[in-house]
Structure 1
Amino acid sequence: MTTTDPDPGLDAIMSERKQLLHLAYRLLGSLAEAEDAVQETYTRWYGLSREQRDAIVSPGAWLTTVAGRICLNVLGSARARRETYVGEWLPEPLPGHGVWGEGRPGGPGADPADRVTLDESVGLAFMVVLEAMTPAERVAFILHDVFCHPFAEIAEIVGRSPAACRQLASSARRRVRDARPSPAPAARGAGVVREFKQAWEAQDIEALIALLDPDATAVADGGGLAVTFPHPIEGAEPIAHTWADIAGRVPGDMVFVERMIDGQPGVVAVQRGVTVTVFAFEVTDDRITHIWVVRNPEKLRAWAQR
């Protein structure tokens, strides 16, 4: 009787899964798509013969390269799909910070003058900025500035020269700097969000306006599967009135809970134990500048057990 020898490198290969999932989520903005990309990466790995796998000097680098190429292809097709998406499209929010905020910013050899601070590299505000980038910019930027991969490796993924990849990352870095004013420290931001929640529940329009930046914006994503406002709301007063109206129509069995969202303070609406809405906030200079509302139930799968 013969048996198949177990793969001696299985533990090492599977230990890369968490890192690959972190990478794919940052590249795609969707947990479901990230999981699919990682699964496809492993399918390709085990599609190789034992001899081919043994010949790969760095399996982790191979997996990252393949996952990056898969994500690059998905990003290209995702743009076309989002043109037919019902309403505004927002990245998928994830609960908490511990699992998703680890990354490798500022790794060995990192040049502080050549990168932006990415402590919140899965924050919803950051993910929204990534959506404005081209697929190649996003891949080059995330792999270099967040995961500290050299441009020579990134060039193999995007099919461009290392110098071109450096330019892609630099362009993406400028987009981040231009779009993201310095956010408030987490503790201050949490205090502002808490005050906003209290004013919202009290339907205190004046207090809401005082907590909002005059040019604040609110964007909601229902995906055609949940009722929400169809277009972005601009300005403190319109947002305040909208949120006061929301408070006036809250069902009796719904509660609003302060929660960390992608490592940043936010609020979730829970109805009969199910998270039905996630509200994420960006706070600058003690004022709320952006509110993102996710109601699409397909984007709230990670909150099902929360």
Structure 2
Amino acid sequence: MAKGVLLVNLGSPDSPTPKDVKPYLDEFLMDERVIDAPKWLRTLLVRGIILRTRPKKSASAYAKIWWDEGSPLIVISERFSDKVQKQVKIPMALGMRYGSMSIKKALGELSKKGVDEVLLVPLYPHYAMSSYETVVVKTMEEQQAHFPKMKLTTLPAFYKSPEYIKVLSESIADGLKGFEYDHILFSYHGIPERHIRKSDPTKFHCKIDGSCCYINSVAHHTCYRHQCYDTTELVKSYLKLDENKISSSFQSRLAGDPWLKPYTDYEFERLAKEGKKRLAVITPAFVSDCLETLEEIAMEGKEQFTEAGGTDYKHIPCLNDSDAWVGLMAKWINEWEASDVLPV
């Protein structure tokens, strides 16, 4: 069989305009793994309420971070893919879960090159039904519908791979150079608390209070909250950080439901008021900088922190297309190509 690799990231509208943002948001929010309500209710919420006002607001946010080359997430993902391709022998393609750079198109590119065995790489370190899982399910649907002879192998969530923690930690250390911080905030993307319970295969392990994280369980393989806190602990250990100077939080929530806490925007205010005047923020749920990191954290976060009394604020970039991250992904792909070995 001829092997190939499919990298998949979140996606982006084609331009920072309400006209292009609206269909992108429609596809994203109508995903049953993002808003996991019955279809009739999801349709009412998304198309009857959210899409009446959200596209204009989101377009304005995208416009703040848009590059001359296009969407930062797309541009970074393309640069990353191109660099990895130079270090591997087998064909690669890049697809997005939402938007015009579809998974179907990417699988088609590989098929045209004679590929019939694909390593699917969801570009998410952690497992969540609204990120990792929806990529896997959508890819399987497209493969079965259009490329039935193709074989799929999926790279597991790699958040605790020692090699990955090394690359992530050293990238953070580089970002911290020259910055005298009082505190480091690990801000992860938020998800509804019910997603944690839905992803629990045991249906009883997860309590979302921290107590269950220290009980070894199969539930940890699909528990986003556990994996996020685990990432913070692994980085803390690698960099020998003072546990009194680090904490974790969750950003990007929707009103109306309890989401994972503590909320990042509340933490900006709390930390500043507690005298943490110099704050460094990292976003380990993302491997590529995007709207949620460049606008919500780097811009809005700085404003929220300084308004609450903070004085110095630094957003540390994601891994993006750094040489170390490119090299690690190429290593994983080459190991799989040679002997079907997966890193985690």
TM-score by length of 1: 0.28
Structure exhibiting the larger radius of gyration computed from Cα positions: 1
Higher relative contact order (CA 8 A, sep 6+): 2
TM-score by length of 2: 0.26
